[in-house]
């Protein structure tokens, strides 16, 4: 589905996925990740202006996390709790009241989705949210997983295409991921589609 013009309502929340140092400039940097920061900040300003909740998910791994190559996973060590790599990228202008969702905290289980093993769904329900605007890093992993879970939980879900970048371990991973999200019911938008 392609959106035309979308207004922010009192049922909306912004979710920015894993815009952390290790994914921007560190051990698992997504190609051109820093290009999304200005767009993410624009979405933040729009949601602040509309007094809508802003969530930021983060990988928050213990040192022995199972996703690391050293422990049988596929990724280099990244986003270890309380290290510089796990901090949100310095140019991301998250408000002080941003709701932080930590995931991947169980050493034995990977968690790409912001809903996996967290209280994100409960927090959204308590705020009477039914539409989510989701972007971040990376399109083909944690953004996709978060969006697919949101759709499975019956949220109307917008994919922020200009505020997301893919890892692209294979060259067509991004395109395949976007197609999968759209087939599941996500709505692709960019800043130009929002009535500000």
For the residues of 102-161, what is the DSSP string, one character each? EE--STT----STTTTSSHHHHHHHTT--EEEEEEE-IIIIIHHHHHHHHHTT-EEEEEE
79, 110, 142, 144: the catalytic one is 142
Q: Is 165 a catalytic residue?
A: no
For the chain, give the number of residues. 196
12, 18, 149, 162: the catalytic one is 18
As given in the structure block, the two tokens for residue 166 are: 């893919």
33, 85, 126 from 69: Cα distances, Å: 22, 17, 38
24, 103, 144, 149: the catalytic one is 103
- 8 Å CB contact between 114 and 17: yes
Q: Is 34 a catalytic residue?
A: no
Q: Is 18 a catalytic residue?
A: yes
Instruction: Point out the residues that are catalytic.
Output: 18, 103, 142
């Amino acid at each position: 589905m392609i959106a035309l013009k979308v207004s922010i309502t009192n049922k909306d929340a912004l979710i920015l996925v894993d815009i952390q140092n290790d994914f921007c400039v560190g051990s698992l940097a997504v190609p051109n990740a820093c290009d999304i920061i200005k767009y993410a900040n624009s979405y933040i300003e729009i949601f602040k202006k509309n007094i809508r909740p802003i969530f930021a998910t983060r990988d928050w791994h213990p040192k022995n996390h199972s996703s690391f190559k050293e422990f049988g996973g596929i990724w280099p060590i990244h986003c270890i709790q309380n290290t510089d790599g796990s901090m949100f990228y310095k140019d991301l202008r998250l408000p002080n009241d941003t709701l932080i969702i930590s995931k991947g905290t169980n050493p034995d289980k990977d968690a790409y989705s912001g809903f996996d093993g967290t209280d994100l769904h409960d927090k959204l329900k308590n705020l009477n949210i039914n539409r989510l605007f989701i972007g971040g890093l990376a399109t083909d992993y944690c953004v996709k997983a978060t969006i697919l879970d949101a759709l499975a939980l019956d949220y109307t879900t917008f994919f922020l295409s200009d505020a997301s970048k893919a890892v692209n371990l294979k060259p067509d991973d991004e395109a395949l991921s976007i197609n999968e999200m759209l087939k599941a019911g996500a709505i692709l938008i960019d800043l130009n589609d929002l009535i500000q």
